[in-house]
Structure 1
Amino acid sequence: MKDLKFTRHRRLRHSANMRALVRETYLHKEDLIYPIFVVEGENKRNPVQSMPGVDQISLDLVEEEMKELVELGIKSVIVFGIPAEKDEVGSGAYHDHGIVQEATRKIKESYPELIVIADTCLCEYTSHGHCGVIQGESVLNDPSLELLARTAVSQAKAGADIIAPSNMMDGFVAAIRHGLDEAGFEHIPIMSYAVKYASAFYGPFRDAAESAPQFGDRKTYQMDPANRLEALREAESDVAEGADFLIVKPAMSYMDIMRDVKNHFNLPLVAYNVSGEYAMVKAAAANGWIDEKGIVLELLTGMKRAGVDLIITYHAKDVARWLSEQQ
């Protein structure tokens, strides 16, 4: 055996400090974006049954929620709103006193340093649950763009730091960029849901946001999960139209897409670790089948390794606590 030659990779693994010394990928609190669901009314904290640990909260509890996040070291939130009333054209989305707009004002009044990302879509506000204007059972692309631009401008006026359009209409970034610029918000960046698949992982979110479509599905505007090259075409269009961040959604089944997008485009890349992914981990942990902390940290580190810079995740509070324990 003394003449046997081989490489000793284990030399760099023999202690915790040695492993830390050569670690290539790190997860930081600054990487985390926490989603919140805001409802109208007072003193409401409605648990989302399919997402243990996640609640719909009323406007008067937003400040309390932000205090917890700030104390944990989380610096960014994305705000989803559930209005009291819905209509065919989702007018609550672009009302100056809409639920996201009011939540944004409350957050910025109490915690101006927090980054507030406004979800810019119509599905939570439309009576039919689709992400745009409908005619019969068709979702119309171009008429939807005007409403999205109006929504973005109203959110920027309310103090949103970043606009995050998620409806996957063709030209949505161009329309929103034009609307923001015309209204004097040239400095507000767009975090585009550039690559959003028509996924089975969104079910629990639709419970939380009360946004399930009332007929059909979203496959005419969200992407086919089988397609890879199409993701690059979608991202390329958004970059050309003025996107400042690119989101890939969902995360766990699409790490190859994240790496492709990162390799092709030099913009900050965001993974959305979606509701179904969160729910599966929570369910397995509740049954004692997995080590929740170990699984979550491994999954999110995998996303970072795949090339993402930021992660929208419902695990953010727990992850922030775990990262503090490691310090």
Structure 2
Amino acid sequence: MSTFSYIKGLGFHVPERIYTNTDLEKIVDTNDEWITSRTGIKQRHVVEDETCHDLAYEASLKALQEAGMEAEELTHVIVATFTGDMPIPSTSCLLMERLGIKNIAAMDLSAACSGFVYAVEVARALINLDPTAKILVCGAEVVTSRVNWEDRSTCVLFGDGAGAAVMVAGTGDESGKILDTLVRADGNHGMNLTVKGGGSAYSYKAGDTVGVENFVEMQGREIYKHAVRSMTSISNEILKRQGLSIDDVDVLLPHQANMRIIEAVGKKLGILREKVFANVDKYGNTSAASIPIALADARESGFIKDGDLVLLATFGGGLTWGSSLIQF
């Protein structure tokens, strides 16, 4: 009997502080109508004193609790993020220390908004190598630390948060069975979405002034077109690979970047709007945390029910994109 990877537990956490669109009107030249009509976002959660690993820790506790596991049972910790606490040590190592565990594998993964799906693919590979593995996969971001609050085209889009999943091996038909995952990238278009500051190509020295290169810069029109095209194509590809059609899908759960993108992907795939999960209005774009927050939220709220076939579709800087099929 074939071994599959399963999501045994899910959890998410967002900061308490909320920035509404009205709050942003006091910070930058914008208004609620402009933001809502272009993005569908009404509010976003923003950290006060929390760090990336703080958010990851809270989400991980919930995922472990739902999985009925203790942190000491884990064999690997993977954190997908581009806004970790610091370059060294990794956020995954900081999370391990916070969870009170050591002497297991830990690593951060950088694929921007696609990071969680990429991390799921890495976890699947590790479980295939060792079916006894028990892996914590977390997408955690403090995106607002990399937002230029003077740039109204980007600062209105993002929020902070974390989502986590516990992945294990199995051979039966338990809920959370990952049927397949596909990930792709194209560096030719990478400069359309960047955070350059701090990298070796944009290094700095003590006393330098912080510049716009340290924050998210995006060619919105190009990103929109590539996001819709790539998420649609990879969703069709993974369905075809599994001998399925969009009619077999009970829930489409796309990256929560922008309501226009979510609606365009659903329309191109030909899925009914009532099957498409969206919570971008409440949380904004939380990058690598977007998919796991949405997955945990949809499961907790009952949008995803036992027996549902869920199609994940994501897109991010790099440029990267990916898709997963999960049978609940």
| TM-score between the two structures when normalised by the length of structure 1 | 0.31
Q: Which has the higher contact order (CA 8 A, sep 6+)?
A: 2
| TM-score between the two structures when normalised by the length of structure 2 | 0.31
Larger strand fraction of residues: 2
